[in-house]
Amino acid sequence: MPGGADSITIRRLLPGDIPTGLRLCRASRWNQVERDWAHFLQLSPQGCLGAQVDDRIVGTVATVRYEPDMAWIGMVLVDPSARGRGIGTVLLNESLELLRDVPSVWLDATAAGYGLYKNRGFEEDSRLVRMECLAPPLSAIDQALLPLTSPGAIGELDRSIFGAARRFHLAWLIEGCPECAWTLPGNSGYVMARHGEHFLQIGPVVAPDPPAAELLVKAALRHAQGRPVVIDATLHDPAWRQRLEALGFLEQRDFVRMRKGPAGSKLPHPWEYAIVGPEFG
């Protein structure tokens, strides 16, 4: 291994490894909590890997197969003390080997990981921006909005937006933060959110236009007054960013959505105003 004589062992992550995953998240100031790691292990029990050096997990990666022709890679984490040794590259290569039968593999890259993914054949697809605010005090939720209690009513719309079925994942989001799950009349759009270590993350946000997307975001913000909130927003409509800025959101950092293989459904869809998060797509 470059930079040292230690050998890397790659093994499947188990529920008992969740504290280690959380330790790596805290070291990188990522937002995931125990519930997120448990969800990864439930979604993909064979697809979450750890890099072990001297009996210690120093890196992770998680893969999710949404459909036979589409998968996602996330949670590429390396302990700060073990960086520069090629561990991230080994984990990425192992995850791609797991997904070798999947035609289209996606991920959302930070600036730190962009070069690694580019070198392994990932192509840039689109740009996203993470925006942050302290949730402002807001008036009552628009009476046109309805609580979203299950993914059944919006499952087909979500599949057309995201490009793959993910009802189990949507049900998990609703269960974890029901107060922030709302839908537009006729189930023509929706918002969800999840609690994290550092902030509430709003997403996905799906709507026919920026005004409707803003209504949904406001409904989620109303239950987070005074708390830090982030949203990973798409950039296909300049008016959308302006509306977020008017609500007090400021840019924190950007992500690059990348894919390896054919594009399939174009991501992001014009109705997608915020993603779930870079680890889930």
Whether the per-residue pLDDT at 2 is higher than 50: the answer is: no
When pLDDT is cut at 50, 70 and 90, the band that residue 234 belongs to is very high
Whether the per-residue pLDDT at 262 is higher than 60: the answer is: yes
Token digits for 140? 């009552």
Residue pair 229/185 in contact (Cβ under 8 Å)? The answer is no
H or E element in which residue 134 lies: strand 123-134
Peptide bond into 268 cis (omega under 30): yes
How far apart CA 257 and CA 189 sit, in angstroms, is: 22
**pLDDT for 266:** 62
Where in the sequence of the chain do the CATH 3.40.630.30 domains occur? 9-102
Topology given in CATH for the domain delimited by 9-102 = Aminopeptidase (3.40.630)
**For the segment 180-214, what is each residue's pLDDT rounded down to a tens digit?**
999 999 999 999 999 999 999 999 999 999 999 99
When pLDDT is cut at 50, 70 and 90, the band that residue 225 belongs to is confident
Token digits for 1? 């291994």
Whether the per-residue pLDDT at 8 is higher than 50: the answer is: yes
Range 240-244, long-range pairs (CB < 8 A, 24+ positions)? 240/210, 240/213, 240/273, 241/129, 241/131, 243/210, 243/211, 243/213, 243/214, 244/131, 244/217
Greater model confidence, 264 or 164: 164
Whether the per-residue pLDDT at 5 is higher than 50: the answer is: no
Whether the per-residue pLDDT at 6 is higher than 80: the answer is: no
What residue type is 17 in one-letter code?
A: D
Mention the CATH class of domain 129-274.
alpha beta
State the CB neighbour count (10 A cutoff) for residue 164. 22
- C-alpha separations of 40 from 32, 36, 172, 249 in Å: 11, 6, 11, 29
**For the segment 95-137, what is each residue's pLDDT rounded down to a tens digit?**
999 999 999 999 999 988 899 999 999 999 999 999 999 999 8
When pLDDT is cut at 50, 70 and 90, the band that residue 3 belongs to is very low
Where in the sequence of the chain do the CATH 3.40.630.90 domains occur? 129-274
Sequence-distant (≥ 6) Cβ neighbours of residue 42 within 8 angstroms: none
Residue pair 59/113 in contact (Cβ under 8 Å)? The answer is no
When pLDDT is cut at 50, 70 and 90, the band that residue 265 belongs to is low
Round the average pLDDT of the chain to a whole number and report it: 93
**pLDDT for 248:** 96
